[in-house]
Structure 1
């Protein structure tokens, strides 16, 4: 009887370990794409217009931004330089480096807590308050199509 008990215990333990191993393996690979930051693609869309942002940095601000997705925001014109939008809260910034933005950059502006799509960076230089998120490729006319209406923001890749 003791031998049968040991065999049953060994069989139950083996089945348990197989299930736990499969669960661990699935959880490690199930989020594989979501842990990648650089190269991730975030789509901003309203109506028939969509603009893709390719993440170019891995820093606390970018990771916090990605953690909020999906979300909806409004974009507006600012200073004939950029289209900006606000989050429901400020993003984490400690440990995120500043940047020297260029046209086509998407940034997070620390003091105001907004995201910005730069299209005219003439005269703008490096700032610790401007955190680089990534790049977009769209015309000013396409950016204008996102203004004044709810913009859906979601990670697509």
Structure 2
């Protein structure tokens, strides 16, 4: 499963894992949704429906990790290394355009 994020002229591609949470995110696409800055290492967005974390692997977030922070219900795109945190689950990894994660803003389009 691959997803593409479009923001202006930026295109980022993530390869999703086979977790239930990743499959549920994939099932909600396509989306047009607002992306927000969080801290100095990540971009976040809130999918319309919270994701199930059953059998989802915990994240050890690095540059390019796509994750789900269950306590807040947001999807996180890391553009700097982070590590792990309670409630942070890996959804996949960036495979194209990873260097541009930090440059996306406003409303983004997420497609299958």
The answer to whether TM tops 0.5 is yes
Query: How far has the Cα of 1:144 moved from its partner?
Result: 4.1
Larger RCO of the pair (alpha carbons < 8 Å, separation 6+): 2
TM-score calculated relative to the size of structure 2: 0.87
Q: Give the match for residue 105 of structure 1.
A: 65
Match of 2:87 among 129, 144, 151: 129
**Cα distance in 1, alignment partners of residues 15 and 48 from structure 2:** 22
Q: Give the match for residue 153 of structure 1.
A: 110
Say how many residue pairs are matched. 110
TM-score calculated relative to the size of structure 1: 0.64
Asked whether the 8 Å contact 2:3–2:15 carries over to 1, the reply is yes
**Cα distance in 1, alignment partners of residues 57 and 41 from structure 2:** 22
- Which structure's residues are more often helix, by fraction? 1
Asked whether the 8 Å contact 1:99–1:128 carries over to 2, the reply is no
1:17-56, aligned counterparts within 5 Å?
40-55=1-16
Match of 1:73 among 13, 33, 52: 33
**Cα distance in 2, alignment partners of residues 91 and 103 from structure 1:** 22
Query: How far has the Cα of 1:128 moved from its partner?
Result: 4.5
Structure 1 segments, 4+ long, off by >4 Å, are none
Structure 1: 5+ residue runs without aligned partners? 1-39
Query: How far has the Cα of 1:69 moved from its partner?
Result: 0.8
Structure 2: 5+ residue runs without aligned partners? none
Query: How far has the Cα of 1:59 moved from its partner?
Result: 1.1
- Which structure's residues are more often strand, by fraction? 2
Pair member with larger Rg: 1
